[in-house]
Amino acid sequence: MTSYIAAAVKAKVTLIEKNRMGGDCLYTGCVPSKALIRSAKFLAHTHRANEFGFKSADVEFDFADIMQRVQRVIKTIEPHDSSERYSKLGVECINGEAKITSPWTVEVNGKTLTTRSIVIAAGAHPFIPPIPGIEDVTYYTSDTIWALRELPKRLVVLGGGPIGSELTQCFARFGSHVSQIEMLPRLLIREDIEISELVMQRFRKEGVSVLTNHMAKEFLIENGEKILICEHQGKDISIAFDELLVAVGRAANTTGYGLEDLGIQTTNSKTIETNEFLQTSYPNIFACGDVAGPFQFTHTAAHQAWYAAVNALFGNFKKFKVDYSVIPWATFTDPEVARVGLNEIEAKDRNISYEVTIYGIDDLDRAIADEEAHGMIKVLTVPGKDRILGVTIVGEHAGDLIAEYVGAMRNKVGLNKILGTIHIYPTLVEANKYVAGNWKRAHAPQQLLKWVEKYHAWRRN
């Protein structure tokens, strides 16, 4: 994205990629996971056939075909990120491993390139926790799971974050017995308690063993069987499994390409330290995306890329502070969880006072018609004011529904304006209007309503 922006403003820009253009998002992240989720959802719908008025809908499938479909999706999207496309846009693309040799030189394929500015966008990799025995049982990560062609009978997923949760549900839906291990008290720990609860309830209903408050202690092989030992409430629990997926977080790629020699500083979370202009400890070396944090999303990487490119090219005239005021994201479990701005946990942590307005999507006409009458919209506002602090949505297409609030927060639009906007009937997005209606009712001018009541009574006389 940085090179795209630089080329668009006619700069001479070189993009160096050691592996495949498109990075994690295309090959091992967003794209394959969303493709797999779609197939798993189709299958889950067939299991609910009688809810939709069918006697049954038996589906036969081969897991290998589903994983092939994932590769087909990647192949279809691949041209969007290809060297051919970027070259046409005016970017010089080099396939090779870059090494930053000084603040003005980068070495690649034995050649030295000189440059005024460098943007580091080296991404992250799955973190493997140093649990005794983990190296003795073969394990998958989000980097390698896409090569799997046989559905594991018993799968252990280590990690209750978004990646672990999305993949847990997929494998459970295809028919694996999945034990999802999380040492904290709930899945999706950054979300409010009742939000995580809704996801955990669904996971349990779909047959996942959701093992929260379980601390993975050791991996063993006993009589040829793989065993995970977890500590739970002071006791050891053994879980036998066939395959293991490790999804306990992602660590920034900060070593092996020159940062150590230059002494580029890193943060406590081991990402590259940057200032508000995304400059590293060298003012002409910038960093963005997963390698810089604090977010690990494709859209935040792209957002930062604009600042890195513009500040690198035009910083002598004007520098722009990266704006993190309105950051949305979604976890694509079923139900989806989407958020923008603050939730209750964060508002409390930051001592920010708030009011909560909730609308239950179980009451929404379209959700009822679609057999998806579940979930909620939860809006935090400044007490007594029409200013949105944050929104969480759990439910069908939450990741799409949140967009209205992203726009509202970005443009400082409040709930009154959302309430006054026509939403198409019957759509899921009407839920946004109804939560605004709930907020409005709670803030109705009581004194004025009393007067109006008297006025109506007087007119009737």
Residues that bind ligand FAD (CB under 6 A): 16-19, 23-25, 28-30, 33, 97-98, 121-123, 142, 163, 253, 257, 289-291, 296-299, 301, 332
Tell me the H-state helices in 257-297.
259-262
First vs last Cα of the chain: how many Å apart?
70
The closest of 447, 419, 434, 440 to 355, measured between CA atoms, is: 440
Q: Could you give the CA distance from residue 269 to residue 340 in angstroms, rounded to a whole number?
A: 23
Q: Are 361 and 431 in contact (CB under 8 A)?
A: yes
Cβ proximity to ligand FAD: between 288 and 436 the closer is 288
Least gap, CB of 299 to ligand FAD (angstroms): 5
DSSP letters of 354-383? -EEEEEEGGG-HHHHHTT----EEEEEE-T
Task: Tell the smallest beta-carbon distance from residue 11 to ligand FAD (Å).
Answer: 19
CB 182 within 8 A of CB 212: yes
Q: How far is the CB of 345 from ligand FAD (least distance, A)?
A: 21
CB of 305 to ligand FAD, least distance (A): 8
Report the residue number, 188 or 230, with the smaller CB distance to ligand FAD.
188
Write a three-state SS string for 9-63: CCCCEEEEECCCCCHHHHHCCHHHHHHHHHHHHHHHHHHCHHHHCCCCCCCCCCH
Shortest CB 265 distance to ligand FAD, Å: 18
Distance of CA 263 to the CA centre of its chain: 31
Least distance in angstroms from the C-beta of 108 to ligand FAD: 7
Cα gap 53→157, rounded to integer Å: 35
**Pick 19 or 238: Cβ nearer ligand FAD:** 19
Which residue number, 30 or 137, has a Cβ lying nearer to ligand FAD?
Answer: 30
Name the phi and psi angles at 244, rounded to 5. -125, 130
Q: Which is nearer to ligand FAD, 169 or 298 (CB)?
A: 298
Question: Which has the closest alpha carbon to 53: 265, 424, 370, 329?
Answer: 370
Closer to ligand FAD by Cβ: residue 146 or 219: 146
- Nearer to ligand FAD by Cβ, of 115 and 298: the residue is 298
Q: How far is the CB of 54 from ligand FAD (least distance, A)?
A: 31
